[in-house]
Structure 1
């Protein structure tokens, strides 16, 4: 946030305690007689530094209040950021070590995204974007487990150099502009190349399938890609899908999204394909699953979360009908096509075992 480590000293705020904000990845400080809240007193901050801190903390709704802390046995005036009244519930006592283990890297990456939007967004706008910044940071941690390299060459990121960065775009999505060079197949280095990359998320996809009825559940909703492409019919048939939240497994995300989008509890989850949506220019990565379930008594129904402005229609149709839609082109979302074709190779065994 400040671009440097300022002068600081250990300090204590009497009659206060620090807790985890319940179901969150950050602390809350609250009055508590007899307790001591330990922290650091940061000195030498400029007005620009304070404006930067105010912007970041404003994304959580926190505001700075004057207090007296103790430093080396002496009282000192300070500002402490307090949470808004009634906004967060205090959970377990705060553990900096636990935060470092689970949340430090995610938080630091998310903070960089916050500060990149300082001149283009308000703190209130940032507040609603924070979970997505954390999801994007979490995707970069998941990415550290690579796919096998049996046919592919054995080169790694050690043979890729990011040589510079250029101004990109920072909104809900991020477009990184950069320069790089890389080791070519002939062993030489490429020239320095200007490139751009769409910084997206890891996504959990699930195709619900009832092997007894031989039916699948598809979701239909308005999609903005077709709208912007100029497609006159921009409603799309898709699998259930959603972002993998920070610290969430793709499997848990798939089960959560099935409930949110289709009010459906899956009895089993089978891994399908894991891969990049469009690796030439996007980080978006799909974790695809087949969701075994009971679809009896289900037909066309509504789904989605009202809080997320989702307007989703669910269709339960025979597998053979879904394949017909693939042949006619009415199914025009590639992830759904991929998942149906995967299911076609496993369908006989799944039906026999049902």
Structure 2
């Protein structure tokens, strides 16, 4: 058999064994992986997996699913409570454009793949590249699978304070990677309105803005148990000591 790039021999990114993902999974006794086929090995990986699934009525059923593996990622909402503003991006997204978005220009929170970094390091890198900002202490909001029917990615959500002085670069992304990103500094109230009228249609961004309004730095005056959480967020606002930040 001819050696298969990405399986038997390194592909263009030096990867082998791409067909092994999932073969040794045994955490769910109602799922038995039978075969994994590598169907595409571009920058990211598409696989077709055949497995037996134990239905709730006790019958075993053979199913086939395709999964798109692009690695895990992180996203952040930088906020300035003193001026009640947030930093977002605007860039062209072809998948949205081809699926009925008017011009494909999406307003989003800064995000990116982890690659070989941990989530904290990765999101600080992305904030510097896309927004030109040095983030204050990071607040971990949640982790979520954004499209679990077909995409394996788990996204780590963060929020962090910033001040005008923390905007030390131009942002715009990495040109060599095809990025052409516009930096937007918006009043929080306007950004929240944009999630309601459709001007912001990106899921991760809607989630972070709603969190900020309900439970985060722009939430109504808290009471009881919520007071301590609000105080913690406000303690990481622009009054922080120069140079102080979380991992």
Q: TM-score range by the shorter chain?
A: 0.7 to 0.9
The reply to whether residue 315 of structure 1 matches residue 184 of structure 2 is yes
Distance in 1 of aligned mates of 2:158 and 2:79: 10
The reply to whether residue 156 of structure 1 matches residue 30 of structure 2 is no
How far the C-alpha of 1:182 sits from its partner, in A, is: 2.1
Given that residues 87 and 184 in structure 2 are in contact (C-alpha distance below 8 angstroms), is that contact kept between their aligned partners in structure 1?
yes
Distance in 2 of aligned mates of 1:268 and 1:239: 17
Distance in 2 of aligned mates of 1:332 and 1:296: 30
The reply to whether residue 244 of structure 1 matches residue 114 of structure 2 is yes
Distance 1:254 1:302, change over 3 A: closer
SS in 2 for 1:191: strand
Distance 1:326 1:159, change over 3 A: same
Distance 1:283 1:319, change over 3 A: same
The reply to whether residue 290 of structure 1 matches residue 159 of structure 2 is yes
How far the C-alpha of 1:207 sits from its partner, in A, is: 0.9
RMSD over equivalenced CA pairs, Å = 3.1
Tell me the equivalent position of 2:226.
Answer: none
Structure exhibiting the larger radius of gyration computed from Cα positions: 1
Distance 1:319 1:296, change over 3 A: farther
Given that residues 213 and 295 in structure 1 are in contact (C-alpha distance below 8 angstroms), is that contact kept between their aligned partners in structure 2?
no
Given that residues 268 and 293 in structure 1 are in contact (C-alpha distance below 8 angstroms), is that contact kept between their aligned partners in structure 2?
no
How far the C-alpha of 1:190 sits from its partner, in A, is: 2.9
Say which structure is richer in strand: 1
1:82-118 residue CA offsets vs partner (Å, 9 max, x unmatched): xxxxxxxxxxxxxxxxxxxxxxxxxxxxx64864x5x
Say which structure is richer in helix: 1
Given that residues 179 and 192 in structure 1 are in contact (C-alpha distance below 8 angstroms), is that contact kept between their aligned partners in structure 2?
yes
The reply to whether residue 212 of structure 1 matches residue 82 of structure 2 is yes
Distance in 2 of aligned mates of 1:302 and 1:262: 4
Match of 2:69 among 199, 216, 236: 199
1:299-333 residue CA offsets vs partner (Å, 9 max, x unmatched): xx652112222111011111101111111110000
Distance 1:167 1:289, change over 3 A: closer
Match of 1:260 among 114, 129, 147: 129
Stretches of 4+ aligned residues off by more than 6 angstroms: none
TM-score by length of 1: 0.55
Tell me the equivalent position of 2:172.
Answer: 303
Q: Which residues of structure 2 form unaligned runs of 5+?
A: 220-229, 238-247
Distance in 2 of aligned mates of 1:159 and 1:262: 45
Distance in 1 of aligned mates of 2:34 and 2:47: 13
TM-score by length of 2: 0.76
Distance in 2 of aligned mates of 1:114 and 1:274: 34
Distance in 2 of aligned mates of 1:240 and 1:223: 14
Distance 1:237 1:270, change over 3 A: same
Q: Which residues of structure 1 form unaligned runs of 5+?
A: 4-47, 57-110, 118-125, 145-154
Distance in 2 of aligned mates of 1:316 and 1:113: 48
Question: Taking CA–CA contacts closer than 8 Å with sequence separation of 6 or more, which of the two structures ends up with the larger relative contact order?
Answer: 2
How far the C-alpha of 1:158 sits from its partner, in A, is: 3.4
